[in-house]
Amino acid sequence: MKVLIATEKPFAKIAVDGIRKEIEAAGYELALLEKYTDKAQLLDAVKDANAIIIRSDIIDNEVLDAAKELKIVVRAGAGYDNVDLEAATAHGVCVMNTPGQNSNAVAELAFGLMIMAVRNFYDGKSGTELMGKKLGIHAYGNVGRNVARIAKGIGMEIYAYDAYCPKEAMEADGIIPVNTAEELYEKCNVVSLHIPATAETKNSINYELVNRMPKNGLLVNTARKEVINEADLLRLMHDRPDLKYVTDIMPVHHAEFAEQCPGRYFSTPKKMGAQTAEANINAGIAAAKQIVGFLKDGCERFRVNKK
């Protein structure tokens, strides 16, 4: 069995070493395609792979067509919108993610962005503190739960809205559940986004919703750019000069945000949330273990596409 690591943005060496250990201990062979610059390189590398570990790499119909021996693709990370799930199902390929492995890294970055924003991007002027402020966690999944844990230490009042997570689970963590996204935005000084990009959530963070935030509201996005209705948010930030937006996913309209909202907007130059040594290692090794479990025992825990 051949397992391919196909990473345009490579794993840290220590993570590759860890993956190799798992794969070789199972008696499989490990192949590496790193920093590829052309899709043709990927199409060639996948030809004889039985399993592929990827990061933000695109697995589309063409790649699946080329990968004749492929049984499983594991996205080392949480979001898997870079994989064409329907095409994978049509090709009989199992797709998994490695949920939870980078959640703390993303949650810590959310607070990095939050503190930078409430301290006016370190421009020398007096800022505000997070302690005592109301934090709205929009989606109480793996990252959302880590955000809640950190927010408790800071002393924030924590609210959460999740369309699918039972309220009891939030209450058990000492979080105040609300019934709708609208209620969350109305109540909270800071809203931190942790929804996935789905048909339901794309463009859902719009003028009407964010405009419900109280004066001096702060929106933090470490989720996905697609969930933001950028035209709406730009218009709202023009109409509401009190609002701030900080994001780990550079908007398509980054230049307009930067120009029109000086001192109220920041984007990381590229997605940094999961970019820590720890997350890198955890997600890579989890991916390797899931591949071994799948190939040896048929374990499909963390499968994200239909059969």
Ligand X SMILES: NC(=O)c1ccc[n+]([C@@H]2O[C@H](COP(=O)([O-])OP(=O)(O)OC[C@H]3O[C@@H](n4cnc5c(N)ncnc54)[C@H](O)[C@@H]3O)[C@@H](O)[C@H]2O)c1
What residues line the site for ligand X (CB under 6 A)?
A: 77-79, 99, 102-103, 106, 139-144, 162-165, 194-198, 200-201, 222-224, 248, 271, 273-274
Q: Which is nearer to ligand X, 79 or 284 (CB)?
A: 79
- For 12-86, list the strands marked E by DSSP: 29-34, 51-54, 72-75
Q: Which is nearer to ligand X, 18 or 141 (CB)?
A: 141
CB 271 within 8 A of CB 8: no
How do the residues of the chain divide into helix, strand and coil, expressed in percent and rounded to 5? 40, 20, 40
CB atoms within 10 A of CB 101: 23
> CB of 221: closest distance to ligand X in angstroms?
8
Q: Which is nearer to ligand X, 45 or 151 (CB)?
A: 151
Q: How far apart are CA 285 and CA 3, in angstroms?
A: 13
Q: Which is nearer to ligand X, 23 or 135 (CB)?
A: 135
Q: Which is nearer to ligand X, 20 or 138 (CB)?
A: 138
Q: In 3-state terms, what secondary structure has residue 169?
A: helix
> CB of 151: closest distance to ligand X in angstroms?
15
> CB of 283: closest distance to ligand X in angstroms?
9
Phi, psi of 85 (to 5 degrees): -65, -40
> CB of 275: closest distance to ligand X in angstroms?
7
> CB of 27: closest distance to ligand X in angstroms?
31
> CB of 42: closest distance to ligand X in angstroms?
22
> CB of 223: closest distance to ligand X in angstroms?
4
Which residues, in sequence order, are CB contacts of 168 under 8 Å at separation 6+? none
**Position with the least CB separation from ligand X:** 141
**Tokens standing for 293?**
């479990």
**Tokens standing for 118?**
């409430």
Give the residue from 288, 296, 302, 301 showing the smallest Cα distance to 4.
Answer: 288
Q: Which is nearer to ligand X, 70 or 184 (CB)?
A: 184
CB 277 within 8 A of CB 14: yes
CB 109 within 8 A of CB 272: yes
Q: Which is nearer to ligand X, 1 or 165 (CB)?
A: 165
Q: Which is nearer to ligand X, 49 or 139 (CB)?
A: 139
Which letter does DSSP use for residue 10 in this model?
A: P
Q: In 3-state terms, what secondary structure has residue 73?
A: strand
> CB of 169: closest distance to ligand X in angstroms?
9
> Residues, the chain, total?
307
Which residues, in sequence order, are CB contacts of 126 under 8 Å at separation 6+? 120
